[in-house]
Structure 1
Amino acid sequence: MAKTARGAGKPTLDKDLEKYHRVEEVSVRVSRSLVAPGIALIFLVLATSFAALVMLERPGAVMAIAGAALAVYMAINIGANDVTNNVGAAVGARAMTLGTALIIAAVFDTAGALIAGRDVIDTIATGIVSPDRMPSDMAYAKVMIAALLSAAIVVNIATLASAPVSTTHAIVGGVAGAGIVAAGADALHWKSIGAVVVSWITSPLFGALVAIGFLAFVKTFILYREDKLEAAKRWVPVLLAIMAGSFTTYITLVGAGQVLSITAFQALVLGGLVGLASYGGLKPLIARAAEGLENRNQSLRKLFRLPLIFAAALMSFAHGANDVSNAIGPLAGIMHALGSGVFAKPLSAPFWVLVIGALGLSVGILLYGPKLIRVVGSEITKLNPIRAYCVVMSTAITVILAAAFGLPVSSTHIAVGAVFGVGLFREWYTARSSRRRAFVTRNAGESEGDGAETAINPDGVNQSETSRRYLVRRSHLMTILAAWVVTTPASGLLSAGIYALLAAAFR
């Protein structure tokens, strides 16, 4: 029997079956990795086919259809790369799941693009290069084609490299690079380009400083107080009221301000009124919510979770309203150039152009958004609801101040700068703060009687480890900074080359 049992096995057959099993596993993994590109390609083909049906009989139809295809490709890349600005902090703080964040971002980005995205395309279509300085309308169309393709490629590469970049900087670089080759440097609006270059530096720095200011306030007046709950009852309503007022102003300027004629001052007044009303309503609510909580930081974080969800929705709406122009602005310009050739102010786009741009944003968010959401939300530094609150407040307030002074800023640079600022401030505060040191020493002394061997600070960091590790991953810092520096020049150089090829191929 033993001999029969041993002889019943087929070593060669077993090895072959194991090989087939491994091949099958690899095939499943490869097929899964091809699902997202496959869906994106199907959407791209459908959107381009629809554009062909609409524009086939119009002058310059081939160029316009190519522009529509590239606008969809650009919109997909914008959604993939920019979604983390709106929901990354909330996901990293576990205020909502990744799936919920993707749905909220897709829905509100689409709504923002469709409701308020029609009237924000002038800057990209005519604000970087003057159409009337081009050798011909066809040359202008080629500039926009080259800009769309180069910007989309640069943003796509940045997403693959896990680097959140400014899609606005990419398209501005693309338009500028091709514009110089087509009509010379005099055709460019250098003031607009200079403002973009300045925002490279000012956006992340100001975002970091505002976030640090909020976090320092929270640590000083709430987290390191003996009676945290009493401090929370006093200050959390104030913080959330500031949030409500700021986001009212933010969405008015960046979203509704594209549809209605609203000045920065009017938006600020409206935000102030909403903030005051919110404080009156939130104060008793926070007092009741704090009654059953323990006197520790983990309990206080619960008070910030729901506001973060609303903030993510509002930021997504404003992003769709503002940044869809990076995709459809060049397409609108192409259609005007090949149609009437008249660039009236404000330059508008047909509704179907808005639709393909908005849906492209959503496709990019749903298919490729998770990668950068994880990077910004959890891989740069550890976020909790309080730190995430500081990040979203920094983004909103910086955009508001920039809009009030007429300065272009990148929400990507602000949000990522705020995340780095929060992490670097925590490193400094952990090592240098006398208030924190006194608090931890006092609590450590109290815990010794309970047999505790190691003190844990209010941030949840083991005291014996604080001198041995950083709270910010430097590798991400260097990768993202490098991507920010090369985004505009890389897009410009690539666009210049693409335009030269187009000019040689289609004379």
Structure 2
Amino acid sequence: MIDTYDPDVLWIVIVGFITSFILAFGIGANDVANSFATSIGAGVLTLKQACYLGSVFEILGAMLLGYKVSDTVRKGILDITAYDGHEKELMLGMLAALIGCAVWLLVATYFKLPVSTTHSIIGATVGFGLVARGPDGIKWGQIGTIALSWVISPIMAGFISVAIYLLFYKFILKAKSPFNAGLVALPIIWGVVLFINVLSITLDGSKLLYLHNLEWWHSMLISIGVGLIAMVCVHFFMVPWQKRKILAEEPYNTDIKPTTISTLENGKSTITVNSMTVSANSVTPIIEAQEEEKRVNLLFHFIQILAAIFSSFAHGGNDVANAIGPLITIWLVYTHGEASTKAETPLYLLAYGGLGIVVGLWLLGRRVIETVGFNLTKLTPATGVTIEIGSAGTVLMASKIGVPISTTHCKVGAVAFVGWVYGKTSNQPSEKGEHVNWKLFGSILGAWVITLPAAGAIAAFCMWCFEFLV
């Protein structure tokens, strides 16, 4: 043990707070972009509006949900008991992890690559652990579980998002009157999204806010009640208002731009439209279908804003752990004097991490937003809603069981899956016949592969240097 508030380790605490804020800044610049990139790419939110929303809901998510995953990052990766009697070494190791993760994340952000901050912090933690205690100090079973989630999470988020999109496609976009079908479905969608969101907060909720005292049926009743109230309000107030507003708009500009008109030998005319040749008789139905889809997309503007809030809240709950988990260990060792303290995660540290995330979003969030929101695939409000719900739902499920999965993997997986399916089902033309930029997707996958060893190597080097101070 060390003495509580030992002045000899105060410098580690101070540098830890500074480095943790820089890391949270990097998470905001790289990872929070995933919460709002689809909304910005679909033209539903501006960057400034997204930053305002993120400022509120990232911090709320961090405070309401972040404690559980923070405990996993703090206690679940390393055998903390191995550092009993060597508390200063543990503090230095956690500082090395913060440095390794922060450096790699800022490098990735510079190159506009969305990487996993979860990969980064866990790789950095393993890196310093190998230097400090060798392989015996690592909980390899937990690492294996988390590593498996890295593979499963983008696939799961992709399948959930595609399933939701196909429901939209069948019952709304391909309905006889898509706009009217969208009006009917809108209250249901709002109700379901709010039900899931409220349930995720109240079911086995934060001990810091005493939500863990609620029985499971209390949480269900509260969530069902909120969902039903939302459905009634949307049906009687939002649907009529949106219907009047959208139908009052000027005729929509479509992406159909005839470039050449040819007459065949049989007398029939063909028109080349955006590099796609169709019969002249087919142009009007295509234009009408696009106009109807644009009306439906306008209908989904507000629901995508809600879904983006949902995603931001989930991100704050899951990824604040990446910035704050090691800092919490440093702080609790400093204030309690032992490595294996069972003290709860302080609420103010979660809020501190959330604040750093918000600052990063405001100052550098644009870089990765361009990659995910604009360069990977074409996004619309309808596809954006499915991506937001599918990826955020996956992250929230993981948060509730304490598994720190990658929000980046979930979001990018959902974007690629839905973008590919949307390209197969829509009338929208694409550049070079591809609806997903697979070359960019491959570059992102490459960045994912090197993230863990890169962050781990930086942290290991820092820990090797710190060993001379122990």
Superposed pair shares fold, TM > 0.5: yes
Picking from 65, 68, 74, the partner of 1:125 is: 74
Change over 3 Å in CA distance of 1:161–1:268 after alignment to 2: farther
Aligned mates of 1:506, 1:389 — CA distance in 2 = 51
Q: Do structure 1's residue 487 and structure 2's residue 437 form an aligned pair?
A: no
Q: Is 2:127 the counterpart of 1:177? A: yes
Q: May I ask how many residue pairs the two structures share in their alignment?
A: 419
Match 1:94 to one of 29, 33, 43: 43
The match for 1:368 is 364
Does 1:477 find its partner at 2:441?
yes
By how many angstroms is 1:144 displaced?
0.5
**1:216 Cα offset (Å):** 1.3
In the TM superposition, residue 163 of structure 1 has moved relative to its aligned partner by 1.7
Is residue 197 of structure 2 the alignment partner of residue 234 of structure 1?
no
CA distance in 2, matches of 1:402, 1:131: 23
Q: CA deviation at 1:319?
A: 2.7
Q: What aligned pairs does 1:352-391 form with structure 2 within 5 A after superposition?
A: 353-354=349-350, 356-391=352-387
| 3-state secondary structure, aligned to 1:163 | coil
User: What per-residue deviation string (whole Å, max 9, x for no partner) do you get for residues 39-61 of structure 1?
Assistant: xxxxxxxxxxxxxxxx9973411
> In structure 2, what is the Cα distance between the partners aligned to 1:266 and 1:191?
34
Contiguous gaps of at least 5 residues in structure 2: 248-290
CA distance in 2, matches of 1:167, 1:346: 25
Aligned to 2:232: 280
Alignment of 1:489-504 (within 5 A): 489-503=453-467
Residues 1:78 and 1:478: Cα distance change in structure 2 (over 3 Å): same
Distance apart, 1:263 and its partner CA: 7.0
Change (3 A) 1:245 1:338: closer
- Partners of 1:349 and 1:126 lie apart in 2 by 15
Aligned to 1:448: none
Matched, 1:201 2:165: no
Distance in 2, Cα, partners of 1:322 & 1:178: 23
Q: Is the Cα–Cα contact under 8 Å of residues 315 and 395 in structure 2 kept in the other structure? A: no
The secondary structure found in structure 2 opposite 1:121 is helix
Task: Report what 1:71 is aligned to.
Answer: 20
Alignment of 1:147-186 (within 5 A): 147-186=97-136
Relative to structure 1, is the Cα distance of residues 81 and 254 closer, same or farther in structure 2, using a 3 angstrom cutoff? farther
Match of 2:316 in 1: 320
Q: Which residue pairs with 2:200 in the alignment?
A: 250
Residues 221-275 of structure 1: CA deviation (Å, up to 9, x unaligned): 2112232233223333323322222222334469757632157776555434433
Residues 407 and 263 (structure 1 numbering): CA distance in 2 closer, same or farther, change over 3 Å?
farther
CA–CA distance in structure 2, aligned partners of residues 239 and 350 of structure 1: 33
Large movers: runs of 4+ above 6 Å: none
Q: Which blocks of at least 5 consecutive residues in structure 1 are unaligned? A: 1-54, 431-456
Distance in structure 2 (CA, Å) of the matches to 1:85 and 1:254? 26
Give TM-score, length-normalised by structure 1. 0.75
Given the two structures, how large is their TM-score scaled by the length of structure 2? 0.81
Partner of 1:290 in structure 2? 243
Matching residue of 2:469: 506
- 1:301 alignment counterpart: 297
1:402 and 1:408 in contact (8 A); partners too: yes
Say which SS state the counterpart of residue 114 (structure 2) adopts.
coil
Note closer, same or farther for the CA distance 1:112–1:224 as it changes in structure 2 (3 Å cut): closer
Give the residue type in structure 1 aligned to 2:377. T
Q: Distance in 2 between matches of 1:168 and 1:265?
A: 32
334-343 vs 146-155, greater mean Cα deviation: 334-343
- Rg larger in structure: 1
Structure 2 CA distance for partners of 1:396 and 1:258, relative to 1, 3 Å = farther
Q: Partners in 2 of 1:251 and 1:387 — Cα distance?
A: 25
SS in 1 for 2:90: helix
Give the 3-state SS of the residue equivalent to 1:471 in structure 2: coil
Aligned-pair distance for 1:429?
Answer: 3.0
Query: 1:347 maps to which residue?
Result: 344
Structure 2 counterpart of 1:224: 174
Cα offset, 1:400, TM superposition: 4.2
RMSD across aligned C-alpha pairs, in angstroms?
Answer: 2.8
